[in-house]
Structure 1
Amino acid sequence: MPSRRSFLQAAALAPFLSFTRIESVVLKPPRLKPGDTVGLVCPAAPAYSRESVQITIESLQALGLKTKLSPHFYDRYGYLAGRDADRAADINAMFADTSVSMIMAMHGGWGCARLLPLLNYDLIRRNPKILIGYSDITALLLGINAKTGLITMHGPEGAATWNAYTVDWFKRVLMAGEAVTFRNPVKKEDTLSQTKDRVTTLKSGKARGRLIGGNLTVLSHLIGSSYLPDWTGKILFVEDVGEDVYRMDRMLTQLRLAGILDQIAGFVFGKCTKCEPGSGGYGSLTLEDVLIEQFGSLAVPAYAGAMIGHLADKFTVPVGVDAEIDADAGTIQLLESAVR
């Protein structure tokens, strides 16, 4: 039995503990402006193609931005872009560099989770700036948000397709600082009804909460660590690529068993690119079957099909911003700007 003294000590500490909770902190990075410098990093897989890097540089220059490569940008250690300590040092250095306004991953792969214990979170908190990427970069987006309260950006990487759709959302969120409403494109083409980029309502309704999410595989492998937020009242969004349906089912089941799906206020499934049933054919469960089964029984609004993931046309979704989802309309409305 706890003693009366321990209760009194806990009561005395409570105000300080609640004050220092990272979940209560929202740290917005400065918005991106023409002439600002983008720091390009490779925190996961190596930069195999110098031509791809040059295309990235030219694309950012077309947006009126300058670029700067991290010191270990072209390093390679097997399937990683150099040793863990060097890749982490590059991220720390970019946050410390006052000439850099945004840090952008060149691409994903694997390796970001290995860096989480090596990052200087006090340094990051003192020098808030935009960090953007998707896929494996999810580990950095979630870990840094959980440890510092910094709003991070699930959006295009350097090697992304810089088309009009992707650029428009990028500029509206990060440069104009709009509290946008993310809505899928409506294009019927030469058909009687829309066939592409449709949304599916899994559970009707609206919900509000902070947006938290990213790549499902990466997120699910962080469960049990200190690099995930308190899930209570959050809006969870996920995406993935090249996963068998049964693996998607397994990871969503893991979220359920960990109690995460019972804590969230709403759910958005983006795209799972190349996630067809495979050799099992349609005798297998489809991803649609799995999503309906997993989320149709939940008591929170949920929908699938948002432009989030490994695709050419993508949203720039802030991690840690208050938002409202409408599962019937298939929209995510930011309730505040993601930048200052």
Structure 2
Amino acid sequence: MIVYPRLPQPATVGVTAPSSGVSREAHSLVREAVARFEQQGYRVVVGETTWTQHKAKSAPARVRAAELNAFLHDDDTDLVIPPWGGELLIEVIEHLDFNAIGRKWVMGYSDISVLLLAVTLRTGMATAHGTNFVDLRSEYTDPTTAAWEQVLRTREGESISQTSSSHHQASWNEDASAQGVYHLTEPTVWKVVRGDRMEASGRLLGGCIDVIRHLIGTPYGDVRAFRERHIQGETILWYLENCELVTVDMRRSLVQMKLAGWFENCAGILFGRSGVHIPREGYTELDLFEEIADDLGLPVAYDIDCGHKPPQLTLINGAYAEVTVEAGGGTLVQTFRS
């Protein structure tokens, strides 16, 4: 069965950096986010790793793991959310005490999706693929991003519906208008491989393909055992987003996932928007989407609201989801079904 945390009111938020911390010149972003959360009634506890960054990580692996364990095991912490992603979260996985993790939400994306997927696969506790802490610092938040609170306050047995955004961000520009963190200028269009409509349902799993692929073959990436122990063989609906991979590397990663059995009993795949469109000898992103759809005989949608071109839906690993994509838009209904 799947266990769903609850986000109470008021709630305590633990901010820790199991991947990258925040360099001194960007500390103001953390302080702004803390102030914003406190204005909304949250109690915020910021760990020491949040404030440091050296050689592609906030601190040595055991230090990061110890602080993360402290937040995960603390009964007074309701939500653990890193400041942002990074590169080397996978170093801390072997040092985590999964058996002692309390019933609390963990939310983030990018490199943080390694932690999210590992926690859900190992423990059956739902985790939230959504925005990170510093990107919630603005007075104005678009409706797609702002839905994170409503999603995390959904009760077990209830359903929550999210729809595609109207516009998305083309690129990051920290110097632009301070009205909002994101600058949503491009019309959002959800697309379906070889079709105009897609419907699929299953238990959500996914994350940033660049990093979650490294869980394959480890004790923290056993999708088959997860299906047997926690969802009684139900189908899986995968969501995947690409941060840095060129098309051939992404294709290799998808084939590896297939060979590892990750796509067994799969209902479909949802690919997030990517800012990386680097063909190799004419081999494009659409080519690889078509090939994986043909290989698996599954419906595939792409350019959904997920990943490094905000905004993004709050996707719950382990939740039962029903997705409909048509006419350039989409609806995702998640049910917190045990």
Please classify the TM superposition score into its range, dividing by the shorter chain length. Answer: 0.7 to 0.9
- Uncovered stretches (5+) of structure 2, i.e. residues with no partner: 169-184, 228-232
> Partner of 2:104 in structure 1?
129
Aligned partners of 1:39 and 1:187: how far apart in 2?
Answer: 31
The within-5 A match list for 1:222-241 is: 222-228=215-221, 229-230=223-224, 233-241=235-243
Partner-residue secondary structure (3-state), 1:227: coil
Q: Which moved more, 1:51-60 or 1:174-183?
A: 174-183
- Match of residue 150, structure 2, among 172, 185, 190: 172
Residues 119-140 of structure 1: CA deviation (Å, up to 9, x unaligned)? 111210xx21010000101111
- Match of residue 165, structure 2, among 185, 190, 198: 185
The within-5 A match list for 1:168-317 is: 168-175=146-153, 177=155, 179-186=159-166, 196-202=187-193, 205-228=198-221, 229-230=223-224, 233-272=235-274, 274-277=275-278, 284-317=282-315
Aligned partners of 2:106 and 2:39: how far apart in 1?
Answer: 20
- Cα pair distance change 1:243/1:129, threshold 3 Å: same
Letter in 1 for 2:192: T
Aligned partners of 1:37 and 1:267: how far apart in 2?
Answer: 34
Partner-residue secondary structure (3-state), 1:251: helix
Aligned partners of 2:94 and 2:302: how far apart in 1?
Answer: 33
Partner-residue secondary structure (3-state), 1:73: helix
Aligned partners of 2:265 and 2:93: how far apart in 1?
Answer: 25
> Partner of 2:16 in structure 1?
41
Contact 1:302–1:327, Cα closer than 8 Å, also in 2: no
Deviation at 1:205, TM superposition (A): 4.5
Number of residue pairs aligned between Structure 1 and Structure 2: 302
Letter in 2 for 1:157: N
- Match of residue 87, structure 2, among 110, 113, 117: 110
Letter in 1 for 2:277: E
Contact 2:210–2:243, Cα closer than 8 Å, also in 1: no
Residues 23-43 of structure 1: CA deviation (Å, up to 9, x unaligned)? xx311112242x312100100
Contact 2:69–2:96, Cα closer than 8 Å, also in 1: yes
- Match of residue 140, structure 1, among 96, 103, 115: 115
Cα RMSD, aligned residues only: 2.5
Deviation at 1:195, TM superposition (A): 6.8
Deviation at 1:287, TM superposition (A): 1.0
> Partner of 1:21 in structure 2?
none
Aligned partners of 1:306 and 1:187: how far apart in 2?
Answer: 11
Structure 1 position 332 matched with structure 2 position 332: yes
Letter in 1 for 2:286: E
User: Where in structure 1 do 4 or more consecutive aligned residues deviate above 4 Å?
Assistant: none
Letter in 2 for 1:30: R
Residues 223-254 of structure 1: CA deviation (Å, up to 9, x unaligned)? 11121222662111111223322222221222
Contact 2:162–2:331, Cα closer than 8 Å, also in 1: yes
Partner-residue secondary structure (3-state), 1:109: coil
Contact 1:32–1:102, Cα closer than 8 Å, also in 2: no
- Uncovered stretches (5+) of structure 1, i.e. residues with no partner: 1-24, 189-193
Aligned partners of 1:26 and 1:59: how far apart in 2?
Answer: 32
- Match of residue 151, structure 1, among 126, 136, 140: 126
Partner-residue secondary structure (3-state), 1:72: helix
Contact 1:200–1:330, Cα closer than 8 Å, also in 2: no
Partner-residue secondary structure (3-state), 1:318: strand
> Partner of 1:7 in structure 2?
none
* TM-score, reference length from structure 2: 0.81
- Cα pair distance change 1:57/1:337, threshold 3 Å: farther
Contact 2:19–2:57, Cα closer than 8 Å, also in 1: yes
Contact 2:21–2:49, Cα closer than 8 Å, also in 1: no
Letter in 2 for 1:334: Q
Deviation at 1:180, TM superposition (A): 2.1
Contact 1:303–1:330, Cα closer than 8 Å, also in 2: no
Deviation at 1:58, TM superposition (A): 2.2
Q: Which moved more, 1:235-244 or 1:53-62?
A: 53-62
Calculate percent identity across the aligned residue pairs: 24
Structure 1 position 323 matched with structure 2 position 324: no
Partner-residue secondary structure (3-state), 2:266: coil
Q: Which moved more, 1:211-220 or 1:232-241?
A: 232-241
> Partner of 1:72 in structure 2?
49
Partner-residue secondary structure (3-state), 2:304: coil
- Cα pair distance change 1:75/1:335, threshold 3 Å: same
Q: Which moved more, 1:38-47 or 1:243-252?
A: 243-252
* TM-score, reference length from structure 1: 0.81
